[in-house]
Amino acid sequence: MGEALRKRLKQERFESSVQEALLNLLVAANHVRERFNREFARYGITLTQYNVLRILKGVYPKGHSRGEIAQRMIERAPDITRLISRLEERGLVERDSSETDGRLSIARITPKGLALLDEMRPSLDALHRYFAERVSGADQHELSRICEKIYED
């Protein structure tokens, strides 16, 4: 085990199996993130912006407040307001005041945002196939189980 990691990091041995496992996890996560970012760059958005659009599509035609979006993010974004503003400038998201609390703004995905996600679907399918070709169905379940053990409260 660890041959690919040793080669990738140009390192002969690791302090412990824990260090090796954590380094493998970080390298793999970075690899996946880079592949997604490269693909999303073709559409002029980032992985984080895609995440917001995905979250808002899930409740379409309703929307979410900044706080609700922040809680649902895969990776925590330090400035949700600026992130939503960038998407709004491109016409992918719109904001309205909450009907129940005027101080609260609600972000909703626009038809243009939905169209962008539809346009991106083949690229996402290709990324999923790339992963499925490397990791069997049983291993995908095992990977999910292991990851959840790492981050669950």
Tokens of 15: 């302090």
104 pLDDT band, cuts 50/70/90, is: confident
pLDDT of residue 130: 94
How do residues 43-53 score in pLDDT, each as one tens digit?
999 999 999 99
pLDDT of residue 13: 87
Q: Is there a contact between 85 and 92 (Cβ–Cβ < 8 Å)?
A: no
Tokens of 85: 């503003």
Q: Which of 70-74, 133-137, 149-153 has the lowest mean pLDDT?
A: 149-153
pLDDT of residue 76: 85
Q: Is the pLDDT of residue 20 over 80?
A: yes
Q: Is the pLDDT of residue 11 over 90?
A: no
Across the range 50-77, mean pLDDT stands at 93
Q: Is the pLDDT of residue 101 over 70?
A: no
pLDDT of residue 89: 96
pTM to 2 decimals? 0.86
Q: Is there a contact between 51 and 73 (Cβ–Cβ < 8 Å)?
A: yes
Neighbours of 58 (CB within 10 A): 11
Q: Is the pLDDT of residue 75 over 90?
A: no
Q: Is the pLDDT of residue 110 over 90?
A: yes
